[in-house]
Amino acid sequence: MKIRPRRLITPIAIVAVWEGAAQAGVLSPDKLPPPSKVAEAAWRLTVDGSLGLHLLESVERAALGLLIGGLLGLFLGAVAGLFRNGDDLVDPPVQAARMLPHLGLVPLLIIWVGIGESLKVSLVALGAFFPIYLNTYAGIRDIDERLVEAARTCGLTQLERIRHVVLPGAMPSLFLGLRLAFAAGWLSLVVGEQVNGQSGLGFMMMEARDFSQTEIVVLGLIVYASLGLLSDLALRTAERRALSWRRGLKVS
């Protein structure tokens, strides 16, 4: 995970060219303001507290949606993965629903839950549900049956086998699901927040567009991107810790 200095050259060059082009008047400030103006806006909104407020609002929605969608996906994925009856009853409708583009459900969701908070949270939950469900299911299904058998000969009860064999065995797949769920969750949040927000990063950006404050629109995008990056980084760290047993596999 060490960053090689050479990998920083192009990103810095791009920002420098962007700044230079904007200063020289090649880029119209209404279309794309220079990075320095974006930084200035970031500073201004941080000092007056509004950026923090919007950010908190967005993160809360994302967290709530991920929690609801994630827990539901985990539960149903486990039911379908562990029990034959669960598989027969749960998997077909979920597989069918998976084919619906969940962001295309916005009009329907507006009719169902309105344009308020529940719309944003529902969208994030929907986005997070499918990757978690699918990867929990696949993770449990892909466990080496021979290991389960060996655990049986060691006298483990069914519950103990789930705890010591099935759950840890499904972990790598579960982490993959989590990362996909976070990505889908952020995307859903961005879309959801474009609908009638009163607060949040999306609202901040829509409002700035109305006043032609392009630098704040760009700032919003950068904050969204950073949120995605940070959550992915946190997940990767958690994954490395939880799956430390795989390190030996990578070396050999």
Partner 1 sequence: MASRPEGVVTATGVRRVFGGTTVLAGVDLRIEKGEVVALLGESGSGKSTLLRILAGLDEEATGEFTTSGSRAVVFQEHRLLPWKRVAENVALGVRGNDAPDRTATALAEVGLADRGHAWPSELSGGQSQRVAFARALVREPDLLLLDEPFGSLDALTRLKMQALFGRLRAKHGFAALLVTHDVEEALLLSDRLLVLDGGRIAEEIEVDLGHPRAVDVPGFNELRRRLLALLHVPADPEE
Length of the chain: 252
Tokens 């908190």 identify what position? 56
| Binding site residues, partner 1, CB under 8 A | 146-147, 149-156, 160, 164-165, 168-169, 171, 243, 245-249, 252
Q: Min. distance of Cβ 176 from partner 1 in angstroms?
A: 16
Query: Cα(75)–Cα(41) distance, rounded to whole angstroms?
Result: 43
Q: Min. distance of Cβ 83 from partner 1 in angstroms?
A: 17
Is the CB of residue 147 less than 8 Å from the CB of residue 169? Answer: yes
Q: Min. distance of Cβ 84 from partner 1 in angstroms?
A: 15
| CB closer to partner 1, 125 vs 151 | 151
Query: Cα(163)–Cα(142) distance, rounded to whole angstroms?
Result: 16
Q: Min. distance of Cβ 51 from partner 1 in angstroms?
A: 42
Residue 217: which of 67, 37, 68 has the closest Cα?
37
Q: H/E element holding 224?
A: helix 214-242
Query: Cα(91)–Cα(81) distance, rounded to whole angstroms?
Result: 9
| CB closer to partner 1, 5 vs 155 | 155
| CB closer to partner 1, 48 vs 149 | 149
| CB closer to partner 1, 209 vs 247 | 247
Q: Min. distance of Cβ 207 from partner 1 in angstroms?
A: 49
| CB closer to partner 1, 9 vs 238 | 238
Is the CB of residue 30 less than 8 Å from the CB of residue 212? Answer: yes
